[in-house]
Amino acid sequence: MTGLHDSLRSRLLRRLWWPLLAVLVLSAVYEYDQAVTLARDEQDLALRRVAIALASRLDVDADDARNDDLGWHLGRTMAAMQRADLTDRLMFMVCDSHRVVIGGDATLLPLADTGTANPQPYADREVNGEPMRVVNFPHSSSLGQVTVVVAETTHRRALQAQRVLINTVPPNLLLIALALLLVRTGVTRAMSPLNRLSESVAQRAPEDLSSLPLEPLPKELLPLVGSINRLMTHVRTSVASQQTFLSNAAHQLRTPLAGMQTQIELALRDATDSQRQRLLKVQQALQRMVHMTHQMLALARSSSQAASTEDFEAIDLQSLLEEAASTKLDQALAAHVDLGFEAESARVQGSAWMLREMLGNLIDNAIRHSPMEGLVTVRCGRDLIGRPWLSVEDDGPGIPADEHDKVLERFYQLPGAKPGGAGLGLAIVREVVQRHGAALTLGCGEKGQGLAVRVEFPQAG
């Protein structure tokens, strides 16, 4: 499964690293072989020059000093050449066409190549159990056709091969590492536009359906971004249709429900006592249905999916609280709850109807859970660093700390809660808070009892 989720960067690196590594390794091997071959050829040439020097001395001795000891003169010449390089030991032998040794070490006679038309000039042989490099140099002298054999131990050649290895392998290893690093850096930089695009999409809010910018992107990414933008356009169209449907549904549902409430109120005027009891139960059920329907529509409209096209504007929380005072005061009086407001000017960027729904649900919950003669206080203002805030506090039973997360879920109600609720009020509040990028806090009231709900908005502008 790992290969199925492999990154494009890893695939590119693998496809580039292994061929490049193979090429560099082959290049290093070829370079080492060429260096060793060149060094060997130069040493062979030097060995051949020794043979040529001996052959030239053979002509001088044969012509000018025939009575001298020819082998002794050749030995002196070889001794002089030996002093030029004390690393390896030189040996020589000169024989005629009948394989009669004229001078030198007779142990080299088996190495003399006198019987072939095209003798091999160089060969690797063992002399007295020691590896040596041997050169055969045929020469026509005044003594007739002779063969000069020169043998040299291979210590300097081995040292030269080690030196070539040391001078070749580390630089090539460094070159390989540098090339792989450059490939990695190049691939990383080439992938940076794709990484930035991925980060840009990952950092977007769920409700942000705006098109992705096409600049500055490489042309290989333009088809992908274009397809994403077309998808965004389709989603925006779908969301706008959903928003229109929710608005129409809210309007269409309110009219018949309001009509039913009016008919029940009219029927209560002429109903008998037994009918009145039944009609009151129907009225209560209808009121709960109206309340739940309103909350469900508000929850749907305030969600990030449905409200992604909502336009935000500058809103003063103080005016929202003053509006709530006029709409919720009758409800508070009917419940025998003291509803108070402490409002200061605090402007936020948001949706007026969403904030109105949020505040309405907070006040409804506070009134419904407050005891008779209870106190509900709604406040708004700015903190010390200028951030706007809003809070609703009551002196009801409150919510245990371990239930704070649960009561924000849809349709969840505390055990023993008053009947009539739908478990959607705080869920709507959470949706509106998230939609506005605000922070929601549930706590206790100032006197250590009841529930205090505080919403802190980001600083406007």
Predicted local distance difference test score (pLDDT) of residue 61 = 54
Question: What per-residue confidence (pLDDT) applies to 258?
Answer: 74
- Cβ-contact 223, 214 below 8 angstroms: no
Q: Say if CB 347 and CB 461 are below 8 A apart.
A: no
Cβ–Cβ under 8 Å, residues 132 and 180: no
The CA distances from residue 242 to 300, 353, 430, 431, in Å, are 10, 17, 21, 17
Q: Are strands 337-343 and 374-382 parallel, antiparallel or unpaired?
A: parallel
Q: Determine the pLDDT at residue 71.
A: 61
Domain 207-310 has CATH 1.10.1660: no
Rounded to whole angstroms, the Cα distance separating 136 from 115 reads 12
User: Tens place of pLDDT for every residue, the chain, 461 residues?
Assistant: 444 556 677 777 777 778 877 887 888 788 888 878 887 888 888 888 888 887 877 765 555 544 456 666 666 666 666 666 667 788 888 888 888 888 888 888 888 877 665 667 888 888 888 888 888 888 887 777 888 888 888 878 778 777 877 887 788 788 878 888 888 888 778 777 777 777 777 777 766 677 777 777 777 778 888 888 888 888 777 777 766 676 666 666 666 777 777 877 778 777 777 777 887 778 777 777 776 666 666 656 565 555 544 567 888 888 888 888 788 888 888 888 888 888 888 899 888 888 888 888 888 888 888 888 889 999 899 888 889 999 999 888 888 888 878 877 776 677 656 665 666 778 888 888 888 888 998 888 777 788 899 999 988 65
Domain with CATH 3.30.565.10 in the chain: 313-456
C-alpha span between 367 and 339 (Å, rounded): 8
Question: Residue 147 burial (CB < 10 Å; 0-12/13-18/19+)?
Answer: buried
Judge residue 101's burial from the number of C-beta atoms within 10 Å of its C-beta, 0-12 exposed, 13-18 middle, 19 or more buried: middle
Please tell me the predicted confidence (pLDDT) of residue 456.
92
Number of neighbours of residue 411 by Cβ within 10 angstroms: 11
Separation of alpha carbons 183 and 187, rounded Å: 6
Question: What is the architecture of the domain spanning 313-456?
Answer: 2-Layer Sandwich (3.30)
- CATH no., domain 3-161: 3.30.450
- d(CA 15, CA 24) in angstroms, rounded, equals 15
CATH 1.10.287 residue spans of the chain: 207-310
Measured in whole angstroms, how far is the alpha carbon of residue 319 from the centre of its chain?
Answer: 47
Structure tokens at 300: 């749907």
